[in-house]
Amino acid sequence: MEIVSKKWNVFDVLEIQGRIDGLTAPTLKRAVNQEAVDGRRNLFLDFSQVTYMSSAGLRIILQSHKALKLIGGKLTLVSVPPAIMEVFSISGMAGFLHILDDLKSLLTVKKPETDFAETIEVNLDGISFEWRKASVHHGKFFTFGSEENFQNASYGPADPVVCKPAEIAYGLGLAALGEEYEDYKSLFGEAVVIGHHFFSYPAVVRPVIDYSYFAQASQHSLNFLYGFGINGEFARILRFDASNAPLRIEELLNAVRKVADTNVFGVVILGMSGGIHGMHLKKSPIHENQPASGHILDTSNFPHWMNFSLESEEINKTVVACGIVVKTPGMLNSATLKMLPENGGMHLHAAIFENGLWSNNIIEFEDELLRVVKEFEPQKVLHLLSDSKLKSGYIGIINLEEI
């Protein structure tokens, strides 16, 4: 089977040539998913050159139909040969699939209407965004714990600050799940909170992400050595699409600085990765692991303590990030300043999820953010570096008051 991407009139069409069976169906699934990842949620499949389709092909078409419908998209089949149409009819799928007789029938397809009252187009630093205003209220920014014991790895039983999920909507830090210090002391690692849902990456030899989903009755202890929290509503939501030339996080956030109303503002990002640069701890920074000399960030100790990506990783993965961005560091109070890397104007952690489909309708950002967090498979949490790249996605801005 071959899949040819072509343009017919104003429509992007995938022409399928040959058999759709157990051997070729996965190729079709990858092609459909990639189209959706690249922002084309209304997909048109030209079946005119399909010679045979088994039940494996039916399954992929059904999965694609459901996945696109879930994110507000639509799958349309065009020019289906009689023998293939019979397969759809016998299976019962012809009753709910959208099937057109030929390519000329695409001219009757209406493009989805956009709620122009809700969104506008803006250009910031040469980057095009779709922009939706939301709340006029400022959120709250608060810090907890201390970073002072980090570099010499000298944290002990008295240092963790315990938060409950209901107390922190968004945030990040070094943290671990558990009730007794002796049980979780070796598990401290990068952590991020998204919509009260907590994700951490234990600093062990073979880390596997740990997480706690939020419910109103949830009483899990989130144990932070240090970090910060953000509670509040989104003041702006921006959507961007740079599929052809992924943008660095630094470029995106420099542009976003122009529409934030406060010196310190929170950002929550849902994006498709174009290559991630990040790092995470290899060992928990507790007293028992203290280096014999120097600090853990010294050149001699750094490789033993930090896993640092030299090349772009996690391409085409779903990235959910949270953090703060600062316009003028010299205007910060001391507690906020300590939450920023040296000579840095942003501090972000990101949870990396499996590849998947999510809506590109800006009105649905908040719902999709929480759906991704709860339904996609989480893989790791990283301290996100500013040269990481994103192909497309959303950035939610929370204007903040420092506490």
For 295-353, the pLDDT digits (tens) are 998 999 999 999 998 888 888 999 999 999 999 877 777 778 888 887 779 999 999 99
**Confidence band of 28 (pLDDT split at 50, 70, 90):** very high
For 250-303, the pLDDT digits (tens) are 999 999 999 999 999 999 999 999 999 999 999 999 999 999 888 998 999 999
Domains 2-108 and 121-402 share a fold: no
Q: What are phi and psi of 188, to 5 degrees?
A: -60, 135
Sequence-distant (6+) residues with CB within 8 A of 297 are 151, 305, 306
d(CA 75, CA 219): 42
Fold designation for 2-108: Transcription Regulator spoIIAA (3.30.750)
Domain boundaries 121-402, corresponding CATH code: 3.30.1330.80
Enter the DSSP assignment of 115: -
**Confidence band of 35 (pLDDT split at 50, 70, 90):** confident
AA letter at 36:
A
d(CA 259, CA 234): 12
% of the chain exceeding 90 in pLDDT? 66
The tokens for 369 are: 């953010």
Question: What is the mean pLDDT of the segment spanning 363-387?
Answer: 93
% of the chain exceeding 70 in pLDDT? 96
| pLDDT at position 34 over 50 | yes
pLDDT at 403: 60
Pairing relation of β-strands 139-145 and 389-402?
parallel
d(CA 210, CA 225): 17
pLDDT at 115: 43
| pLDDT at position 112 over 60 | no
Provide the residue ranges of all domains of the chain, joining segments of one domain with +: 2-108, 121-402
Sequence-distant (6+) residues with CB within 8 A of 300 are 294
pLDDT at 402: 65
Alpha-carbon 186 to chain mean position: 27
Give the pTM. Answer: 0.79
Average predicted confidence (pLDDT) for the chain: 90
